[in-house]
A and B are shown apart, each in its own frame.
Chain A
Amino acid sequence: MSARQRLGFLPENPYFPNFLSGREVLRYYGKLSGLEGKSLEARMEELLELVDLQEARHRPLKTYSKGMLQRIGLAQALLHDPDLLLLDEPTAGVDPLGSRQIRDIILGLKQRGKTIVFSSHLLEQVQEVSDRVAILHLGQKLKEGSLAELLEVPDEFELRLPRSGRSEEELRKVLGAAGWSGDEISIRSPRVKLEEYFISSLPERGKAEGRKSG
């Protein structure tokens, strides 16, 4: 029991009483977590702001999108201010804008010094936010470590330079003069991530609406 007090948990596909509004759900789970009165109300406001659901707070949960449900789920897991947060597939089935929002929340929590353990099969997202990862396969832990330890290719360099009006040939020449042979070098223009491209291509208005419906 006392372990559960220090632990916040968001199950995969969390299910909440969908006849309640966002606020009511938080109040209900807050009471179950042993909060009450003014401190509970204040905490609810704080969390609704954190997960960006102030505008939807009075709507019943059955009108929420998947991303909004995950966010209210995050909020309820944070109610009693746990040190450790367990999230099971927090972005599964959530659209790109929504999952970006969830990622931002997770990063914000990390900055506040919370320990967050989450599972995901969206590996790119894992890479973006994690300090340490473990790889599980068929219930067995195969690998564990920091991202740098696991992913770094120690005997290679990756360079990123502004073009400054020069050609690829010029760069190869410089590197060749320093002793690297031509087939050791691979040069190309970097690409933005599809997710970033997707978001940047939305019109401004669409972004705002996308945020609301998440």
Chain B
Amino acid sequence: MKSLKETWWRIEAIAGNTLVEALRQRVLNVIFLFGLVLVLGSLFLTSLTFQEEFKFLKDLGYAAISITGTLVALMGAAQLIPAEIERRTLHTLLSKPVRRYEFILGKYLGLLGLITLMLLIMSLLFAGVLWAKEQLGLLGLPPAESGEEARQMIAAVTAQSRDLNLLQALVLIWAKLAVVTAVAVFFSTMATSTIFIVCTTLLVYFVGHLQSVAREVWLQEIGGSSWLKQGFLALVAFLIPDFQAYNLIDEIIAGNAPPWAGSAELLVYSVVYVAVLLLVSSLVFEDREL
């Protein structure tokens, strides 16, 4: 029990150090600033109808949050882990009673902390933007006391701005980013080139959005087409995460409220996927010559 606790201390220390290092990285801060500007900028989108404006606002806000998050996850993992090896800080680190898997877990949790922090800040800003838009929208409406019609119009505005399901979308964006980060960590245990890690992770990201298609074709054509094609499709289906599953996010932002149970299962899927990727990363890293 005691050693488990000490393991956790060490992981925590490495995670904390990773977070501090990331917060002092210029690239990551610039990306983050860009995201904040984009979220804030969505407030100034003006369009034809009120309905359009709210839709555009939500789309842009969530795009800003998820793109910024993806870039931070990607650049964070691709910079910080190879840096430890190249600057040889890892050697000093491993001269302490630190196991390699503790290093991997610490790095991952530090990055996840960074992403969580950034998502929270951007979401708060986005909530502020939604609130401002709501107030602007209500300005043009008659007061609620003036009758049923006014109440309905006000309800229509607040239904758009105070949609609690948006939280669900946020949780799923977080889950998706957690998986992307784990993929990047996995690749960074195999190579020290930042470009290699960014490229391979992006490749997995894109193929991941097509994985469900590959899987369906493969299941339909089992025994029916060439071995080469089937083998390739099966490889994609077996190795690549299904990022299409996170399309629930678009559904939620479009105003279709899926049940929380569906999101919860997706969350569990993400957590298990992350655990598997980190286990594999640790094992690969164990064999690596440093």
Contacts and interface: CB of A to CB of B under 8 A. Distances in A.
A120 to B, nearest CB: 18
Contacts of A16: 89, 92
B17 interface: yes
Given A14-B92, A15-B88, A31-B13, A5 B21 contact: no
Given A17-B21, A32-B96, A11 B10 contact: no
Interface in B89-138: 89, 91-93, 95-99
Interface of chain B: mostly helix, strand, loop or mixed: helix
Contacts of B17: 17, 20, 28
A30 to B, nearest CB: 9
B232 interface: no
Interface string A43-77: 00000000000000000000000000000010011
A170 B257 CA distance: 110
A4 B20 contact: no
Interface string A173-214: 000000000000000000000000000000000000000000
Contacts of A15: 87-89, 91-92
Interface core residue of A1, A4, A17, A34 (most chain B CB under 10 Å): A17
A73 B91 CA distance: 12
A32 B93 contact: yes
B288 interface: no
B21 A19 contact: yes
A33 interface: yes
B91 A17 contact: no
Contacts, number: 57
Contacts of A34: 6, 9-10, 97
Interface in B61-110: 87-89, 91-93, 95-99
Contact of B9 (A13, A14, A17, A31): A31
Nearest to A29: B96
Contact size range, A: 20 to 34
B97 A5 contact: yes
Given A19-B20, A34-B6, A4 B97 contact: yes
Interface core residue of B87, B89, B95, B98 (most chain A CB under 10 Å): B95
Interface string B3-41: 000100110111011001100100000000000000000
A11 B13 contact: no
Contacts of A9: 95
B97 A11 contact: no
Contacts of B16: 28
Interface string A1-39: 100110001110111111110000000110111101000
Contacts of B9: 31, 34, 36
Contact of B95 (A11, A20, A28, A36): A11
A60 B24 CA distance: 12
B96 to A, nearest CB: 4
A1 B92 contact: no
B5 to A, nearest CB: 10
A184 B93 CA distance: 57
Nearest to A34: B6
Nearest to B6: A34
Nearest to B87: A15
21 contacts: A4-B95, A4-B96, A5-B97, A11-B91, A13-B88, A15-B91, A16-B89, A18-B87, A19-B20, A19-B21, A28-B13, A28-B16, A29-B92, A29-B96, A31-B9, A31-B10, A32-B93, A32-B98, A34-B6, A34-B9, A76-B92
